[in-house]
Amino acid sequence: MSGVQKVQKEKILGKVQEKIKEGIDNYRAASDAPAKVDVYDVIEQVFAVVNPSLQDESKISVDEVSGCLRSAYLDRKDPAEPTHKQMMSKLMEKSALSILEKPLEGVIEIDSKLKLVGRADRVEDDVVMMFRTEEELPEMPHAEHFMQLNSYLHMFAKPEGVIVYFDKDGNEMEFIVPKSEKLFGETKRRARILNTLLNNNVIPALEPSTRCMGCAHNEKCFYPSEDKQKWGFWARGKWRELKAKDSIF
């Protein structure tokens, strides 16, 4: 190899080494940079799909009306940001039973300006099914589950439904529930109350229950600010005024 060839070969080798170094530096820079989509983004996106928030005040959902009205109001007007742990716990509960579900969306008119909307877990020819998980199998269905199932019986015109509870070991307890006009009357009454309070920006009264333990609005209810107007007694007084004014009953 001549001297000139040797110099050219060294130049080429030098350029190749520079390119390799540049490639390694780029790789390191890329791996140091935060990923564009991480697992937390995925959790937030899936949670938003599984828990869509209703903004249309002419529609009240079965879940809203059967739970704490104050929580339903705050979810719309002053939503609390759930932690990733809270989101994952809801997603895991939902996904555990989704294999049994054949969900069906329904709607029923309460009056000309208000509709009740919801999604039943499973609707068969003559029965509506609801699946829930519990730490311990209950001796009686929870009141909110009665109200939810009864709403679906009215939406899908079925005479009876079944609420099925499972514990983490797969044990099961089921309750057959007939359709109740009286309970549906109470459901409609609560939907009208929530609708009126939403339209008038009046926060509903506290509804203390075991639900408060895991509620995202817990701090707003039990560690309130100086603003006494946020308290339930004030809201109750305000509700009496609105009831008289709107005569919604």
Residues that bind ligand SF4 (CB under 6 A): 68, 70-71, 74, 206-208, 211-212, 215, 217-218, 221
Residue closer to ligand SF4 (CB basis): 115 or 220: 220
Q: Contact at 8 Å (CB) between 115 and 107?
A: yes
Q: Cα 51 to chain center, whole Å?
A: 4
Q: How far is the CB of 70 from ligand SF4 (least distance, A)?
A: 4
Nearest alpha carbon to residue 131 among 102, 154, 91: 102
Helices 39-50 and 84-97 cross at an angle (nearest 10°) of 60
Q: How far is the CB of 154 from ligand SF4 (least distance, A)?
A: 25
Instruction: Give the count of beta carbons closer than 10 Å to the beta carbon of residue 10.
Output: 10
Residue closer to ligand SF4 (CB basis): 129 or 215: 215
Q: Please return the burial class of 57, using the count of CB atoms within 10 Å of its CB with bins 0-12, 13-18 and 19+.
A: middle
Residue closer to ligand SF4 (CB basis): 71 or 148: 71
Residue closer to ligand SF4 (CB basis): 129 or 147: 147
Q: How far is the CB of 68 from ligand SF4 (least distance, A)?
A: 3
Q: How far is the CB of 138 from ligand SF4 (least distance, A)?
A: 19
Spatial separation of the C-alpha atoms in residues 182 and 202, rounded to whole Å: 27
Residue closer to ligand SF4 (CB basis): 208 or 237: 208
Q: How far is the CB of 214 from ligand SF4 (least distance, A)?
A: 9
- The torsion angles phi and psi of 104, rounded to 5 degrees, stand at -135, 125
Q: How far is CA 235 from CA 43, 112, 181, in A?
A: 36, 26, 29
- Residues 6 or more apart whose Cβ sits within 8 Å of residue 88: 43
Q: How far is the CB of 53 from ligand SF4 (least distance, A)?
A: 15
Residue closer to ligand SF4 (CB basis): 86 or 218: 218
- Residues 6 or more apart whose Cβ sits within 8 Å of residue 245: none
Spatial separation of the C-alpha atoms in residues 93 and 47, rounded to whole Å: 12
Q: How far is the CB of 77 from ligand SF4 (least distance, A)?
A: 12
Residue closer to ligand SF4 (CB basis): 87 or 203: 203
